[in-house]
Copies of this chain bind each other. A is one copy, B any other.
């Protein structure tokens, strides 16, 4: 990298919030869509203003910057959709990420430095008054609530269908779904195998939501609910299960808490039981953009969620698993949108 390129990238960082909000505005005001409909010939400012109801001033300031960002391409006085704009307009992952940043994280990120200084999610107060997001999750104001769940589910949904045959590759009698949240994985298991039974472990509010979803789907007879705050180190997990499941769960805890929870999982396991851990590890991604997105998401945990957890890198995470008396038998990368499945047994 030349000094000029490095200085340019420093300015890109210095004005990055402008780039984000201009992109959001171009999308939310319908300007990218209007330009997209016009095809390669593009539209001039006046036509875009007429079609979207946005002032010519607003169209101009946004599109001049949007051209710098690669969202639109200018030819004389006309603007056409450019490659980056195409993904902002049409790609679901981009939409989900952008809405999550806009609705859940944007203002909270202003407290990132203080969150790190204090070890607390100081940005969470932008959404409500809770000690961590887990107490507030079902009470988040809109549009934060919808954007949070769409972000969470977008990534897990794609992984679950690929994970089912990996977990059910032999007979499974009972699944302990630890941190089962709204019950999506449990439902997948119940639909996949007509004989399997499930116990969901989570906080009471999450269990209520899971119970509603499972009874609505008609699977109430095969599910138990186990209310537990696993932050309490004396709270044990039920034994006698053959599959323990933790999907996008341990990233919600600090290293010390991860070790404590894994210790209790190991304690609940017999020699035949297997613990499946699903995580998105930044350091096991094929694409740089995926690594970037996950390392960014860590900072959501820092300043919004709880101030202490993160998207772990796999090298450090393996140390925590081993320190809990577990051994990793299998590692399967690139499931769904870059998930990794760890299959663990008692050491």
Contacts and interface: CB of A to CB of B under 8 A. Distances in A.
Interface of A: 1, 3-25, 28-29, 54-55, 57-58, 60-62, 64-65, 68-70, 83-84, 86-88, 91, 93-94, 97-98, 101, 105-107, 109-110, 112-113, 116-117, 119, 254-255, 282, 287-293, 295-303, 308, 310, 313
B299 A21 contact: yes
- State the number of copies, please: 2
A84 B29 CA distance: 33
A116 B68 contact: no
Nearest to A15: B296
B116 A58 contact: yes
A22 B117 CA distance: 13
Given A57-B254, A84-B6, A86-B6, A21 B110 contact: yes
A296 B18 CA distance: 6
Nearest to A7: B87
B299 A94 contact: no
Contact of A15 (B6, B24, B292, B301): B292
Nearest to A282: B64
Contacts of A86: 6
A291 B68 contact: yes
A21 B19 CA distance: 14
Contacts of A19: 13, 16, 296
A117 B53 CA distance: 9
A98 B4 CA distance: 18
Contacts of A10: 84, 87-88, 91, 94
Top-6 shortest CB links A-B = A6-B83, A8-B289, A58-B116, A10-B87, A14-B97, A18-B296
A310 B119 CA distance: 40
Contacts of A83: 1, 3, 5-6
A9 B290 CA distance: 11
Question: Of residues A23, A58, A70, which shows the largest number of chain B Cβ atoms within 10 Å of its Cβ?
Answer: A58
